[in-house]
Amino acid sequence: MKNTFVIFCLFLFVLSNCSKESNFPYIEQLTGYLDEVQKINIRGETIIIIVTGSCGSCEDRTLKFVEEIVLKKEFKNVKKYIVFPNNHEESVKRFENKGFNVILDKDFKLSRYGLDFDKNLLVHLLDSDRIKYWEWMYMEKFFNIGKEYDIVDL
């Protein structure tokens, strides 16, 4: 009986340490890029979206996510940024004045920091080194994102 309890406690410990937040491999690159290139020092809760612009329907759903998050009262005081590569000025126009700070990566520094991805990326930071949630933003993942943020139709 004692061994079962110890094994159960070990199992819970392992499970609690295998959360989505502990598995985000790009935290240093992201905070480095924001701090060094964009002069944004992350303090407090922040939502960051990096858009690749390579998926039109993903971009539509990303825009819907942005609009929904801005409407939610619990995110009123959360800083929000959306980053686009330089060659997506049309996409920038779609996201302007949507409640997110829009960043255009004019010198393609995202790739220099290892942040040039094939898929859009959502990162929800509690602080500069603590992740609340992160997820790739592509068709199969929008359901998970909707559940996490209580957005029914994403």
Q: What is the DSSP string of 92-110?
A: HHHHTTSSSEEEEETT-HH
Number of domain units in the chain: 1
Domain assignment of residue 41, given as a range = 20-148
Can you give the pTM of this predicted structure? 0.80
Which of 116 and 16 is assigned the larger pLDDT?
116
Residue 14 lies in a domain: no
Handedness of CA 14, 48, 34, 29 (dihedral sign): positive
Position 79 scores a pLDDT of 94
Residue 13 lies in a domain: no
Residues in CB range of 26: below 8 A, 6 or more apart = 114, 115
Residue 1 lies in a domain: no
pLDDT in tens, 70-114: 889 999 999 999 998 877 777 787 778 788 899 999 888 999 999
Instruction: Decide if pLDDT at 17 tops 60.
Output: no
Instruction: Decide if pLDDT at 21 tops 70.
Output: no
Residue 93 lies in a domain: yes
Residue 7 lies in a domain: no
Residue 15 lies in a domain: no
Position 53 scores a pLDDT of 64
Residue 154 lies in a domain: no
Residue 134 lies in a domain: yes
Q: Which token pair is 97?
A: 């004045």
Q: What is the CATH number of the domain that holds 48?
A: 3.40.30.10
